[in-house]
Amino acid sequence: MKPGVLALQGAFREHVEILDGFDVEAVELRVPDDLAGIDSLILPGGESTTMSKLLVTSGLFEPLGVALHGGMPVLATCAGLILIARQVLDGRPDQVGFDLLDAQVRRNAYGSQQQSFESPIAVAGLAGGAFPGVFIRAPVVESVGPDVDVLATHDDRPVLVRSGPVWGTTFHPELSGDLRIHQQFLKETSP
């Protein structure tokens, strides 16, 4: 198993540290050559507009899109979810995304940085009780398509969704101190 973590901006280091703790060699993706040999991907939280621009200027956007649409498993958190959503509300007109997950998301819908919060969430199929959801300027999932499973909600809104090998969270599991979502993603998507 050799996951890649998009390392252009955002909370990528935290994801890499979690993977290192599992004795999994994570590749920090910065240029197209870094894609060689990876078999899954983590798109971290951060600022989706900035990430979108950096994906284009780094040359990663097109080859990463090909890999994702070819079935590469992905765990997309917060801004990463915005990058994979089919439709983004309140996004910039020049913002690019991968159009991978049949979901409509609204950027920063939970409010400003000052309105960030933590809340326990029940995750379907995840043993060990509630997961500590960390929401930082999080997007809201407004709707999902018929092939998207909602695995967790907060205030009746989806916060963890999955469609086959594509996982998306509106919260930051990498900042929670709880490793179970990463463990489950790796377990279910390892070759």
97-139 pLDDT, tens digit each: 999 999 999 986 665 565 678 999 999 999 999 999 998 878 8
How confident is the model over 65-80, as a mean pLDDT? 96
How confident is the model over 84-97, as a mean pLDDT? 88
pTM to 2 decimals? 0.94
pLDDT for the residue numbered 171: 94
Assign 91 a pLDDT band (cuts: 50, 70, 90): confident
Nearest by Cα to 10 from 41, 37, 49, 36: 49
Torsions phi, psi for 154 (to 5 deg): -140, 125
Which residues carry out catalysis? 78, 172, 174
CA 33 to CA 49: how far, in whole Å? 23
**Right CATH number for 3-189 from 1.10.150.530, 3.40.50.880, 3.40.630.30, 3.40.50.2300?**
3.40.50.880
Q: Where are the domains of the chain?
A: 3-189
Q: At what angle do helices 180-189 and 12-21 cross, to 10 degrees?
A: 70
CA 16 to CA 28: how far, in whole Å? 8
End-to-end Cα, the chain, rounded Å: 7
pLDDT for the residue numbered 174: 95
How confident is the model over 2-28, as a mean pLDDT? 95
Higher pLDDT, 46 or 169: 169
The CA distances from residue 81 to 60, 107, 128, 177, in Å, are 17, 10, 25, 20
